[in-house]
Amino acid sequence: MTKKLLILFMLMATLLTACGGGGEAAQPPEAEESSQSAESEEPAQAGDEESAVEKVTVRVWTHQNESFNAGYQALMDEYSSLHPEVEFLFETFDYDTYIQTLQTALPAGTEADVLVMFGSWVCSYVEGGSLAEVPASVISLEDARSQILGAPIGGYVCNDKLYGIPQEFNIEYGAVLFNTAIAEEVGATNYADGWDTWDEVIEDGQKMAVSQDGVMMRAGLNYTASDGLATMFHSVYLQYGGQYLEDGTYTVNTPEGVQTLELMERLKTEGLVDPLLYSDEENWVGDSYFAETSAMGLVGPWAIPEYSGDYEDVAAATIYALLPSVGETPDFAAASGWGMSVSANSEVQDVAWDFVKFATLNADNAAEFNLASGTLPALAENLSGSNADSLVAEFPYFEPFLDILEYGQFEGAFPDRDFVWYEVTYPEVLNFLQGNATIEETLQNIESAVQASFE
């Protein structure tokens, strides 16, 4: 009997060890569920009619971001108050875990009803048949293109069909972080009236850059991080009148490509940055700007809320200064930002789409989300009017961006946008700026590597 008890105990101990060992790494991705908070805010209902109405549960998945999640929660609460029969199960995941969760859940058909997606991912999941097309009752593709700005909507259109609706404009080019305190210190003044030409930018940047014994201690304009560099390359290419992606053919080895690289090289040779010392690996633009080892930095407006907590003084002296355009209009390439899609496997697609429409196409609701999450609007209607005023009042550094969002062009339906940006464009252009390749070699390498990714 004792022996049997001992055997049983050993078996239990072994099972518990096998199942529980390894801490966080051994456990499957944990989803934070806030269904209780969503449910608790449902207004109390009474009466026979209420009990006859069938409750619908809509699962919503997104990545973990405090301000984004606050925005989503507010939208769900508002929707629930208007539709008491609908309750939400809101699950959030750490960013990297979210990507992997989508990759496993979508093929397996276990995903949530509403999926918050980054626009650049959408078409790859559409390929797998995982996402539902937006019903015409929600919005037609034609109406979506007229109501929603071009860059945000671009990622959600696959094979001329709409598979989701964006909520924000993701921008990495068009304006730069600008330290007005440093500018005042060194007498850089061109920015005050807005830069009309790159000559004025260079003049300010030269004054703000600091070198000692030939070593750059403060960059005038840090544009050599991966996102900024790759986006700048494609944006300036557009401004020179080129189109780098047409009908599945990628072309940059053109006169426009030469002009683009010449401009980017000029910024280096005029002393605005040392590309050997400033890159993704060292002096990354966000860290460098707020540590004041860069006076200007090419990075999106998400950087300010990210760093302002730790660098209050620098944040207080920071504005966004619009960059000049080499073309008629300040065209720029932009990724398609965060938005909502609905799973093709969802059993409550009607309700899910109704919620998505409520959250994204209602101008006031969309603006509320932008306010809560600190993001730029995707709806054209919110570029002006009271919603825009509220956004600028809350985030003053948004103001210059609102003037240029209409010129944003979706960066393109690449088979793998990250590959094009981070594995091809950034290393090739950085290598060129470091003086290790010619313009022709660089353009040829970029073009052939990106084109090969389509095959």
Nearer residue to another protein within complex by CB, 349 or 422: 422
Site for another protein in 83-122 (CB under 8 A): 100, 103-104, 107
DSSP secondary-structure letter at 272? S
Q: How far is Cα 130 from Cα 108, in angstroms, rounded to an integer?
A: 10
Q: Which stretch binds another protein (CB under 8 A): 60-68, 124-132, 191-199, 230-238?
A: 124-132
Rule CB under 8 A: say whether 385 interacts with another protein.
Answer: no
Nearer residue to another protein within complex by CB, 276 or 363: 276
What percent helix, strand, coil does the chain show, rounded to 5? 50, 15, 30
Contact 87, 35 (CB under 8 A): yes
- Cβ 126 to another protein shortest distance, Å: 10
Rule CB under 8 A: say whether 15 interacts with another protein.
Answer: yes
Q: How far is Cα 334 from Cα 404, in angstroms, rounded to an integer?
A: 12
- Cβ 297 to another protein shortest distance, Å: 16
Nearer residue to another protein within complex by CB, 193 or 213: 213
Rule CB under 8 A: say whether 18 interacts with another protein.
Answer: yes
Q: How far is Cα 375 from Cα 316, in angstroms, rounded to an integer?
A: 19
Contact 303, 375 (CB under 8 A): no
Please pick, from the candidates 215, 247, 309, 328, the single residue that binds another protein as defined by CB under 8 A: 215
Residue type, 197: T
- Cβ 208 to another protein shortest distance, Å: 16
DSSP secondary-structure letter at 450? H
- Cβ 261 to another protein shortest distance, Å: 17
50 CB-near residues (< 8 Å, 6+ apart): 84
Please pick, from the candidates 138, 182, 216, 429, the single residue that binds another protein as defined by CB under 8 A: 216
- Cβ 120 to another protein shortest distance, Å: 12
Nearer residue to another protein within complex by CB, 132 or 383: 132
Strand partners, 377: 168
Helices (H), 187-344: 198-208, 226-239, 255-269, 285-290, 303-308, 312-316
Rule CB under 8 A: say whether 452 interacts with another protein.
Answer: yes
Nearer residue to another protein within complex by CB, 57 or 103: 103
Rule CB under 8 A: say whether 431 interacts with another protein.
Answer: yes
Length, in residues, of the chain: 455
Angle (CA) 164-249-159 rounded to 5° is 25
- Cβ 225 to another protein shortest distance, Å: 12
Nearer residue to another protein within complex by CB, 104 or 249: 104
Beta pairing class for 338-342 and 165-166: antiparallel
Site for another protein in 247-276 (CB under 8 A): 276
Rule CB under 8 A: say whether 370 interacts with another protein.
Answer: no
Distances (CA, A) of 148 to 75, 151, 161, 363, 408: 19, 9, 15, 11, 12
Rule CB under 8 A: say whether 214 interacts with another protein.
Answer: yes
Q: Which stretch binds another protein (CB under 8 A): 9-17, 41-49, 171-179, 377-385?
A: 9-17
Q: How far is Cα 180 from Cα 178, in angstroms, rounded to an integer?
A: 6
- Cβ 245 to another protein shortest distance, Å: 18
Rule CB under 8 A: say whether 14 interacts with another protein.
Answer: yes
Site for another protein in 129-148 (CB under 8 A): 129-130
- 350: tokens are 């009607």
Size of the site for another protein (CB under 8 A): 46
- 105: tokens are 């859940």
- 302: tokens are 């998400």
Q: Is 376 helix (H, G, I), strand (E, B) or coil?
A: strand
Rule CB under 8 A: say whether 128 interacts with another protein.
Answer: yes
Q: Of 192, 217, 335, nearest to 274 (Cα)?
A: 217
283 CB-near residues (< 8 Å, 6+ apart): 219, 222, 277, 293, 294
Start-to-end Cα distance in the chain: 69
Contact 277, 220 (CB under 8 A): no
One character per residue 307-346, x = contact with another protein (rule: CB under 8 A): ----------------------------------------
Please pick, from the candidates 293, 343, 365, 425, the single residue that binds another protein as defined by CB under 8 A: 293
Q: Is 341 helix (H, G, I), strand (E, B) or coil?
A: strand
Site for another protein in 408-427 (CB under 8 A): 416, 418-419, 422-424, 427
Nearer residue to another protein within complex by CB, 23 or 43: 23
One character per residue 159-198, x = contact with another protein (rule: CB under 8 A): ----------------------------------------
Instruction: Return residues touching another protein (CB under 8 A).
Output: 3, 7, 10-11, 14-15, 18-19, 100, 103-104, 107, 124-125, 127-130, 212-217, 276-277, 279-283, 293, 416, 418-419, 422-424, 427, 431, 434, 436, 448-449, 452-453
